Chain A
Amino acid sequence: MWTISYWVQVCHLRPLKKNWLDAEESLGELTQSKQRTDDTRGLIKQVYGALVCISWASKVKGFSASITTDHQATYLTKNWFSDEHENQMLYLLQKEVSRTRGGDGIEVCDTFFTTRLLDIQKQANGPDHYANSANYTWLREKGQELATGVLDMLVTIANIGETHWVALILDFKSSNILYGDSMGGTIDEDVETALTWWIHHHTGKYFTKSYFPITCQRDGYSCGILAWNALAVFLLPEMHSLVDAGKVGDERLRMFLRVADHHNSKVCLFYNCQEHVTNLD
């Protein structure tokens, strides 16, 4: 009767495997694509090298969210990024800023920063609740640090209408909100209201609004990676440049490799990666 147990396990494994099969198919399409370059070929080879070094069953190490490695397959496809993907990228950006600029008063926040502010705005007594609730201790501390000059800048990516990612920079030194929308949109009204309220609560000031450079997307799925890219260019212009809209596929592969490298740096490797890579040649 153990066959039933076997079938149950197979039914749970099948979606995991499908995620990776979809990724493999996307890599195949990218290999055949007319837009592929030598860079693309090299990246695909590196991706396969990483795929022999990551266990299919493990959790992604080195990030706050406890998710399985199959979530990483999304980077290799044209599927939309989730909060987990954006937050992995933002975490890596914070590390890069800390490493190259020594922090420099810049706080890179996860996507839940804006979500929390929007939630406060939706509550009838939200602003009053904010001042006292233990749930918002972290937000109040950040607000205080930014208002008193301990920090200069807060950087994040926000979700708009559960369909779109935009880049946000709150520059407390120049009293400016910078907005980057790869679809060319103006600042979202709800986001603007929430940010304006939070900033005013801590500083008593009203910031000006402006826009900063971001690649215009030519597809329906690249907002997440382009929002991150715009922030990376803004914070680390000597290391990043605005990605060509036609080469976002390469940028997603690069991001997969960054996340995979970070994951692998946190786990012991049991695989003979070099042997596998050679076999893939």
Chain B
Amino acid sequence: MSIAGPALTQRNTEPLSNQQLVKIPVCILDSSYSTVMAKGPQLPQIPPTVQQSILPDKDLSIVDFLKFRLPAAARSFDGSFTPSQEFLSSLSPTITTIEEIQVIPTPPLAVLNELVNMPELSVSQSVLCLHAPGFIAE
């Protein structure tokens, strides 16, 4: 599975051919929300209107927090993993709804930490993930 968020900037690179997309099954997610870069680190900010629905409100009670669904965690990735090549892409996103984004398992935090520190992040349009073989339910 492949995932992408809203574009940060346009990048002049050749998109993958359709054949490549078939060989490496991907779906690309996005929404049409404009992205604002967070101050300091190169971390794109979640649009406030989206944040309200995908992350629990800080005033939520513990009982309601327990009911709030979070995406599952991807259990593992296969051996040869190169974040910039495997995840960051110049392709336009294909997944655009919040509902679809919420059911995609999250990569491990170590992978995410690598991604957020990559210079390519600021010029990528989407995030790609291979279909992961197994997930841990919440």
Contact = CB atoms under 8 A, between A and B. Distances in A.
Interface of A: 1-14, 17, 20-21, 24, 48, 51-58, 69, 270-271, 276
Contacts of A57: 56, 58-60
Interface size, B (range): 35 or more
B61 A7 contact: no
B60 A56 contact: yes
15 contacts: A1-B6, A2-B5, A3-B29, A3-B101, A5-B43, A5-B46, A7-B112, A13-B56, A13-B70, A17-B138, A24-B66, A51-B62, A52-B62, A52-B64, A57-B60
Interface of B: 3-8, 29-30, 33, 35, 38, 43-47, 50, 54-56, 58-66, 68, 70-71, 73, 101, 106-109, 112-113, 115-116, 121, 124-127, 138
A201 B132 CA distance: 65
A12 B106 CA distance: 11
A9 B55 contact: yes
Nearest to A11: B109
Chain B CB within 10 Å, residue with most, of A3, A13, A20, A58:
A3
Contact of B59 (A2, A9, A55): A55
For chain A, what secondary structure do more than half of its interface residues adopt (helix, strand, loop), or is it mixed? helix
Contact of B61 (A6, A8, A9, A276): A276
A149 B52 CA distance: 59
Contact of A11 (B5, B7, B59, B112): B112
Given A20-B62, A56-B62, A57-B60, A13 B55 contact: yes
Nearest to A55: B59
A136 to B, nearest CB: 40
Contacts of A13: 55-56, 70
B116 to A, nearest CB: 6
Contacts of A270: 59
A270 B44 CA distance: 31
Contacts of B70: 10, 13-14, 17
B44 A5 contact: yes
Given A4-B115, A9-B55, A11-B106, 12 more contacts: A1-B5, A1-B121, A2-B46, A6-B101, A11-B73, A11-B109, A13-B55, A13-B70, A52-B61, A55-B60, A56-B60, A271-B61
A10 B101 CA distance: 12
A14 B108 CA distance: 12
B116 A56 contact: no
A12 B30 CA distance: 22
A54 B61 contact: yes
A207 to B, nearest CB: 45
Nearest to A279: B63
A5 B59 CA distance: 21
A3 B3 CA distance: 8
A9 B57 CA distance: 13
B58 A55 contact: yes
B8 A1 contact: yes
Contacts of A53: 61
B112 A4 contact: yes
Contacts of B30: 3
Contact of B47 (A2, A14, A55, A56): A2
A122 B125 CA distance: 58
Nearest to B47: A2
B35 A1 contact: yes
Contacts of A55: 58-62
